[in-house]
Structure 1
Amino acid sequence: MSGDDIEDDSEDAGTEGESNRVPVLLVRGDREYLVEPGGEQGTDLGVLEVPTDVQSGDTIETHLGDEFQVRRLRGPDLFHHFERTGAPMVPRDIGLVIGETGIAGGDRVLDAGTGTGVLAALLARAGAEVVTYEQDAEFADVARENMALGGVADAVDVRTGDVTDEVDALEPSSFDVMTLDTADAPAMVEHAPDLLVDGGFVAVYSPFIESTREVARTAREVGLANVTTRETIQREMQFDDRGSRPTTAPVGHTGYLTIARNE
């Protein structure tokens, strides 16, 4: 075997360790299956039995002799394989949040509007400790399962409830970044100067211009600096024998991202 070790860090993890193993991707062409080490997956090409000591880069054959490649589950894969409770933030927008705020190892993030949990999971995989709030109890349960799937359950504290009701219980100046994807984001922006460390950032994502305008106005009123709002949009390029141009598919608009800093 070769590649990155996927198995639990403990050589003698036992039953508990086996239940906590992060699944791997088994890939062949356009087929892609998520399976835990030691698990089994039936396919139209035969049954795949995944060894407990599986590593990325391995090749596994079905009982009929068809080969699948093993890949380690990476951040962008979570977007496709997390159980969804709504439309999650797309990876390119998460990249903007990380790039604009500089989230890195050792940071503490307050996240509101957990939803599927893709954002919280990717922030944790970047090294941050995340406290995230989800109002819907069922959605919160799904998010906790997704954090386990993504291997970040220890780094993400999924709390059920409305973060605006919990503000007084949060320690002042204890967060490096706030990420908000909720309709009541302006109400939380009001508390950003108290909750963020000096130089900390707030990042607010919204699909609507009206709420985005209110977020920007509130951020300026409470004294946040460098308030900037951008539309997140990308165009895929198309290359063929006739020439090169942006694809004629619908424009890749996803939403509006407002960034501000606590000075």
Structure 2
Amino acid sequence: MPLPTGTTVQYGDIVLLVGKDRRSFIRTVSEGRRFECHLGFFEYDNLVGMAFGQQIKTNIGRQLFVLTPNIDDIVTHLEREGQIIFPKDLGYIALKLGVRSGSRVLEAGTGSGALTTTLALLVGETGHVYTYEMRQKMQERALNNVRRLGLLDRVTFHLRDIERGFEETDVDALFLDLREPWAYLEQARAAIRGGGMFGAIVPTMNQVLELIENLYDGPWFFLSIEELLLRTYKTIPARIRPDDQMVGHTGYLVFARAVERDSLDDMNVKREAARAAAEDETADEGNGVDTDDRDSNR
């Protein structure tokens, strides 16, 4: 198993070690080896049999909590090249894509493997993740991260451009983390099963506009554009208030459902109605009329 499932530490377990200064480390418990950090060192052998939630002392008497890591911890500690998708977005992406045990999920733009790792943990032993990356150095980094977590049997890595399409078909969901995701919508639709989920992340509204316009012209329905802003709070009981800094814009998320091509005629009728409604709303706003939000159901 990639993560501990028992109540006590065993050899081979991936553990989260956290000092009272909140600095944390994720390590694999290896027989005969030693853990070292700014708080001193201890032998991994001394962890075996210890209950999760306890503290272990280093050679200089400093203590670290021994915990089971969650997905947030794992993603935060990944070795990375460049920026990764933020944890606040990762969970929501998986939720919107409907990822669960047994899902088959495609990803393009592996990067350092933050989303790859998250998906691999969620699809379980009966699901699978297929990920595509053009840059060999990035793929090697992601592959090492996945291997370190014992998840290689759940992930297939492809090192190539997706312009000529994906090798897999009838997947449950597909996500693109690419500069121009609209350029690969035909390839994406050919890989997703009818009714499956499509998602993409882009940093600018210009890219959102281009992607939405292209989704409108293809076999996609139930489009949405979303953005998540995360605010954390100080946990001092006498003065609970927002932290001085917050995680603001990290990317725009675009989602859609893949629909069958033979339903395009009916879809186009609905889309024209939606566009007309949007134009009417714009005209009303221009005339100073207060309009309610209208769900175009695109």
TM-score, length-scaled by structure 1: 0.83
1:192–1:262 contact (8 Å) kept in structure 2: no
State the partner residue of 1:12. Answer: none
State the partner residue of 1:154. Answer: 153
1:41 lines up with 2:22 in the alignment? no
1:189–1:215 contact (8 Å) kept in structure 2: no
Cα deviation, residue 252, structure 1 = 1.1
Give secondary structure in 2 for the equivalent of 1:190. helix
State the partner residue of 1:4. Answer: 7
1:22–1:150 contact (8 Å) kept in structure 2: no
Cα deviation, residue 238, structure 1 = 5.9
Q: Paired residue for 1:216, among 198, 208, 212?
A: 212
State the partner residue of 2:44. Answer: 50
The one-letter code sitting in structure 2 at the alignment partner of 1:31 is R
1:206–1:212 contact (8 Å) kept in structure 2: yes
Q: Paired residue for 2:167, among 156, 170, 178?
A: 170
State the partner residue of 1:233. Answer: 229
1:26 lines up with 2:29 in the alignment? no
Choose 233-242 or 92-101, whichever is displaced more. Answer: 233-242
State the partner residue of 1:61. Answer: 57
State the partner residue of 1:144. Answer: 143
Cα deviation, residue 5, structure 1 = 5.2
Cα deviation, residue 240, structure 1 = 7.9
State the Cα deviation string for residues 113-145 of structure 1 (Å, max 9, x = none): 111101111011112411111111011011000
Cα deviation, residue 212, structure 1 = 1.6
Choose 118-127 or 234-243, whichever is displaced more. Answer: 234-243
Q: Which has the larger radius of gyration?
A: 2
State the partner residue of 1:109. Answer: 105
Cα deviation, residue 171, structure 1 = 3.7
1:189–1:202 contact (8 Å) kept in structure 2: no
The one-letter code sitting in structure 2 at the alignment partner of 1:138 is K
CA distance 1:121–1:208, change in 2 (3 Å): same
Cα deviation, residue 58, structure 1 = 4.5
Cα distance in 2 between the residues matched to 1:93 and 1:193: 23
1:89–1:118 contact (8 Å) kept in structure 2: yes
State the partner residue of 1:94. Answer: 90
Cα distance in 1 between the residues matched to 2:54 and 2:245: 37
State the Cα deviation string for residues 221-240 of structure 1 (Å, max 9, x = none): 11201011122323334688
State the partner residue of 1:123. Answer: 119
The one-letter code sitting in structure 1 at the alignment partner of 2:23 is R
Cα distance in 1 between the residues matched to 2:240 and 2:24: 31
CA distance 1:249–1:24, change in 2 (3 Å): closer
Cα distance in 1 between the residues matched to 2:49 and 2:135: 36
CA distance 1:238–1:22, change in 2 (3 Å): closer
State the partner residue of 2:283. Answer: none
Give secondary structure in 2 for the equivalent of 1:236. coil
**Which structure 2 residue ranges, 5 or more long, are not aligned?**
260-298
Cα deviation, residue 49, structure 1 = 1.0
Q: CA RMSD for the aligned pairs? A: 2.6
2:163–2:187 contact (8 Å) kept in structure 1: no
2:57–2:63 contact (8 Å) kept in structure 1: yes
CA distance 1:147–1:261, change in 2 (3 Å): same
CA distance 1:230–1:241, change in 2 (3 Å): same
Structure with greater proportional helix content: 2
2:75–2:118 contact (8 Å) kept in structure 1: no
CA distance 1:242–1:186, change in 2 (3 Å): same
2:134–2:161 contact (8 Å) kept in structure 1: yes
TM-score, length-scaled by structure 2: 0.74
Give secondary structure in 2 for the equivalent of 1:170. coil
Cα distance in 1 between the residues matched to 2:132 and 2:79: 17
Aligned length: 247
1:3–1:57 contact (8 Å) kept in structure 2: no
